[in-house]
Amino acid sequence: MKKKLMITALVLVAVFCGYILGNVIVNKINGQVDYSKYSESTLRDNEETIYANYKSGKIKYDSLKSSDAATAYIITSMKIKDASYVKINGKGSVQAAIANQNILDYFEKTSTGYKSETLSSGFIKIADKTEYNSKSDKLTLYKGSLNADGTSATYNNNGKTYTSAEYKKEFGVTPGELLHHIISSKTVTTATIKTTANGKQYTMTMDPISCVINYAKLMSKTSNISYPTFNHVIITFEIDKNFNLLRYSTDEEYVINYGFSVVCKSVINFSVSYKK
């Protein structure tokens, strides 16, 4: 869910900079990608089977290789789903020509649902908040005004509410996902693994089309633009010996066509905590 909230800020700042600079920032015009040719069900691995194999001991931390990047990510994301409490803080920026938009992101999951908030400061000031109740399966989106400190916001009480199925149908993604990219053995093109002080770190270079078929729809729907074209998507994550996610980051470059071509570069770093 948190990923959705930052999309509007990222896209709007790109459009704003494109308006300011006009044809000066037209680096290249990419053809429109036909994402409809891809099937999510075909691209996904059998995540439930992978998780079951982990829980039964068939997949072991000590035997992980670089080729197991997608498997390791799927296990750690499923553990996030099962966790009774998780808190994630994100910080980063998106650049489009002269614009630099700063992003603060917060996500907190409990046994009864989750809440998230994204604040974006720079040329454009945006505050979005989401609250999800797992018992009623109701997700409410709120718009707010960024306060002068840039790290807090004031919200109105008139949110828009969806069920998970309604949200998936309208925006293409499932609420509460760790990331809205499709991460599988079919979408990871290359991966590296290294040992860290706390565990293992994977860096995955993703196929910039197949991994974003849902993510691109989300960007288009929430910002009223054509589907973006991604030049690269790199995802890095670190896990401990129990496959608990410790931190992760996204590094992306994409092009938005808005009468002209706007190149956006985004880097967001996330830290994960399991303590209240």
The CA distances from residue 61 to 49, 119, 187, in Å, are 17, 36, 22
- pLDDT band at residue 31 under the 50/70/90 scheme: low
How large is the average pLDDT for residues 66-92? Answer: 97
> Residue 12 — very low, low, confident or very high, per pLDDT cuts 50/70/90?
low
Q: What is the pLDDT of residues 226-269, one digit of tens each?
A: 899 999 999 999 999 999 999 999 999 999 887 778 899 999 99
pLDDT at 26: 36
The pLDDT of residue 125? 87
Mean pLDDT, rounded, for 22-35: 53
Residue 35: count other Cβ atoms within 10 Å of its Cβ: 18
Give 193's pLDDT tier (boundaries 50, 70, 90).
very high
Q: Decide: helix, strand or coil at residue 27.
A: coil
Which residue did the predictor score with more confidence, 181 or 101? 181
In this predicted structure, the answer to whether residue 144 has a pLDDT above a threshold of 70 is yes
Q: What's residue 18's pLDDT?
A: 46
Phi and psi (nearest 5°) for 46? -80, 90
Q: Say what the pLDDT of residue 20 is.
A: 42
What's the pLDDT at 27? 38
Average pLDDT over the chain, rounded to an integer: 88
Enter the pTM of the model.
0.89
98 pLDDT band, cuts 50/70/90, is: low
Contact status, residue 264 vs residue 231, Cβ threshold 8 Å: no
Phi, psi of 60 (to 5 degrees): -115, 145
DSSP labels, 184-233 = STTTEEEEEEEE-SSSEEEEEEEPTTGGGHHHHHHHHHHHT-PPPEEEEE
